[in-house]
Amino acid sequence: MNTKFYKILSITVIIGLIFTGTVFVFAQQSDDKDETNKETPNNITNKLESILVNDEADKDETVYVIANSDGTAKKVIVSDWVKNINGNDKLNDKTDATNIVNVNGEEQYTMNDNNICVWDAEGKDIYYQGEIDKELPVTVSIGYKLDGKEISSSELVGKSGKVTMTFNYINNQRKTVSINGKNDEVYVPFVMLSGMVLDNTNFTNIKVSNGKIINDGDRSVVIGFALPGMQESLAIGESKLSIPNNVEITADVQDFSLETTITLATNDMFNHLDVDNINSLGDLENSLGELSVATEKLVNGSSDLYNGISLLLEKSNELIDGVNKLANGAKALSEGANSLNENTGKLKVGVDTLNSGLKELNKNSAMLNGGAEQVFNTLLGTAQNELAKAGVDVPTLTIENYDEILNGILKSLGGDNAYDGVYNGALKKVTDAVKANESVITEQVTMAVNQQVFGAVLEKFNMTIEQYKVATGNGQISQEVKAQIEGAVNAQMQSEEVKATITKLVSDKEAELINQQMSSEEMINKIKNLAANAENGQKSIKGLVEQLDTYKQFYDGVITYTSGVDKAYNGSNILNQGVLQLADGTEKLSSASNSLYEGITTLQDASKALIEGIIELQDGSMQLSNGMKQLSDEGINKLVSLVGDDVTNVVDRIKAVVNISKEYQNFGGISEDMTGKVKFIYRTEAIDK
């Protein structure tokens, strides 16, 4: 079976594993039971923004859609990382964005006539943001119902009842391609992930289609996903494979309000697939058919064997006839064992395929972890910038320290702490300013003390300072006397007593200046105003902490998921070894069953001893019968039903979908010589009073 075919189908499986915990997620019925986690909210798995990373892209773009509560866009912001791979002094970047701002440096740009930004990069990467006005690739609309009747979000505020929220997605990015000689439209495959956090006090009996609910006791994290346009692109009937194109969330609500919703759109997971060398799988259908028939025969044969053995034990008086039937059954067992031995090789191929698929998933775990960490660091950077704009100076925020730092700020801004914090901050700034002029103050104090010492020395010579100046000017003071006076002054100035006096006078003067500034009416009013603003800012910082905690829950979930993939891959390696042992065992079983048939023919003359062996054989044949029936019902028949007659057509359409996905690398504009990747994050405004 072609491993690339399963690699493509595994994209669907990945989504299912993340959001529903089941292997096949596109069934029409979904299990919406809550999963309750009694741990702290920091351990809740929040999977709103699962982003794959492409480190090889020259331009990495994130598009932020600021939307109304019904999903209509109010503002679209593009955030781009342009990589300066060769370390050039000049970096050219094509963009349709306006109001461009460098968000991570001082580099400037000029715009030429071809709509190309020429950045003075000086060998560095460029990070910028701008606004853009163009149609989004996926239109998101959110509808609301109360007790089955449509209602606007503004009218829904404060209402109670059965509330239904429906996220509808319209894929606007399609292209006409040739498939099997016919022109048909396929859509760029965007995975849409929508999520929200609901307060369990107001929301109960929560259900979500195509998604998952994680409940920590106080809040419920609700996540759903869809693939708009994929059903049409693959042209598979919904009876065989139903691919969701919307998300519906229902709940019993008291006093409705909603802080926000977040939707992520990305096609990046499809862009890492190599589909160019996928060959025709026409003979797959024949192999599946043959395997289905062979399995049915084996099920029937094992069932007949068990029934025959049971009848033989019940009718021991007909031992000879039973032994003859056993001989016939042994022959069927021999033939079945031979068939089983032949099909074990096919089983090994399937296990190899499973192992290869899990190996691919395991290889991508690092990319998934890196993407989640990149988003987290971006959120922390944004939080750092917002705090800086608000005048709050904090150390660099990291995944490990943000909780301690921001909660420390919240504590410092609460109640009397707000005033004390502002006062101490102002006192530090005033003190630092006075200390900055300490050399000037010291110089002034030293000069004043020097004058006092000079006057005291002159008193011993029966002169005042003024008399000394006049006498010196008239030449009445000899050089010898001058030297004596200067020496006496210098000696006293170097004494420990005078030095201590100068130090104390400097300290007293600084304290006086600090007290004057801190007790001024202007400073008192400024401290009061800043303290009031700090108390108001406490709410904003608290909301920021909650948002970061919410994403921390998602980040921890990604780490847990990738760890699970690693364990599954290790398990598949063990399974692979087991299949090798099974293949060796079935070969031996085939050989042994042939010998068994010959031996049972001989044992027809030893019926008494044979009965004891038949009892043991009965138990084994029942297990074989049940196992073969389970394999037929749960394995082969389902596989044949899913693939049906459309294998080649589905593979060709998957090729087309993946190829146009690889073509869609940017939204805001990109130079022809660049590669890119893009993701979209839609955030709706709060619905409250």
Q: 148 lies in a domain?
A: yes
Give the separation between CA 68 and CA 398, rounded to whole angstroms.
31
Q: 198 lies in a domain?
A: yes
Range of the domain at 583: 286-375+558-649
Q: 409 lies in a domain?
A: no
Q: What is the pLDDT of residue 45?
A: 31
Q: What is the pLDDT of residue 328?
A: 74
In this prediction, residue 67 has a pLDDT band, given cuts at 50, 70 and 90, of very high
**Residue whose pair of structure tokens reads 């922390």 in the numeric block:** 380
Q: What is the pLDDT of residue 323?
A: 59
Give the separation between CA 455 and CA 470, rounded to whole angstroms.
14
Are residues 90 and 137 located together in one domain of the fold? yes
In this prediction, residue 311 has a pLDDT band, given cuts at 50, 70 and 90, of low
Are residues 368 and 225 located together in one domain of the fold? no
What does the block give as tokens for 48? 């709103």
In this prediction, residue 16 has a pLDDT band, given cuts at 50, 70 and 90, of very low
3-state secondary structure 153-219: HHHHCCCCEEEEEEEEEEECCEEEEEECCEEEEEECCCEEEEEEEEECCCEEEEEECCEEEEECCCE
Q: What is the pLDDT of residue 318?
A: 60
Greater confidence (588 vs 389) lies with 588
Look at residue 397 and tell me whether its pLDDT is greater than 80: yes
Look at residue 403 and tell me whether its pLDDT is greater than 50: yes
Q: What is the pLDDT of residue 10?
A: 41
**pTM above threshold 0.85:** no
Q: 524 lies in a domain?
A: no
**Residue whose pair of structure tokens reads 């006096």 in the numeric block:** 501
Q: What is the pLDDT of residue 25?
A: 34
Of 308-322, 356-370, 403-417, minimum mean pLDDT range: 308-322
Q: What is the mean pLDDT of residues 119-143?
A: 96
Look at residue 383 and tell me whether its pLDDT is greater than 50: yes
Rounded to the nearest 5 percent, the helix, strand and coil shares of the chain are: 55, 20, 25
Are residues 36 and 98 located together in one domain of the fold? yes
In this prediction, residue 433 has a pLDDT band, given cuts at 50, 70 and 90, of confident
Residue closest to 75 by CA, chosen among 51, 98, 102: 98
Residues 6+ apart with CB under 8 A from 426: 518, 523, 526, 527, 530
Are residues 87 and 191 located together in one domain of the fold? yes
Are residues 164 and 311 located together in one domain of the fold? no
**Residue whose pair of structure tokens reads 């709706």 in the numeric block:** 684
Give the separation between CA 679 and CA 667, rounded to whole angstroms.
9
Please enumerate, as own/partner, the contacts of 583-586 that have beta carbons within 8 Å and a separation of 24 or more. 583/344, 583/345, 583/348, 586/337, 586/340, 586/341, 586/344
Are residues 9 and 113 located together in one domain of the fold? yes
Q: What is the pLDDT of residue 14?
A: 40
Look at residue 299 and tell me whether its pLDDT is greater than 90: no
Q: In what order do the strands lie in the sheet with 90-94?
A: 90-94, 116-120, 109-111
Are residues 211 and 310 located together in one domain of the fold? no
For 176-189, what is each residue's pLDDT tens digit? 998 888 999 999 99
Q: What is the pLDDT of residue 357?
A: 73
Are residues 358 and 257 located together in one domain of the fold? no
* Residue 101 DSSP code: E
Q: 137 lies in a domain?
A: yes
* Residue 462 DSSP code: T
Greater confidence (624 vs 29) lies with 624
Q: What is the pLDDT of residue 72?
A: 96
Q: 261 lies in a domain?
A: yes
Q: 298 lies in a domain?
A: yes
For 72-105, what is each residue's pLDDT tens digit? 999 999 999 999 999 999 999 999 999 999 999 9
Q: What percent of the chain has pLDDT over 90?
A: 32
Q: 94 lies in a domain?
A: yes
Look at residue 110 and tell me whether its pLDDT is greater than 70: yes
**Which three-class secondary structure state does DSSP give residue 420?**
helix
Are residues 146 and 193 located together in one domain of the fold? yes
Q: What percent of the chain has pLDDT over 70?
A: 70
The number of folded domains in the chain is: 2
In this prediction, residue 402 has a pLDDT band, given cuts at 50, 70 and 90, of confident
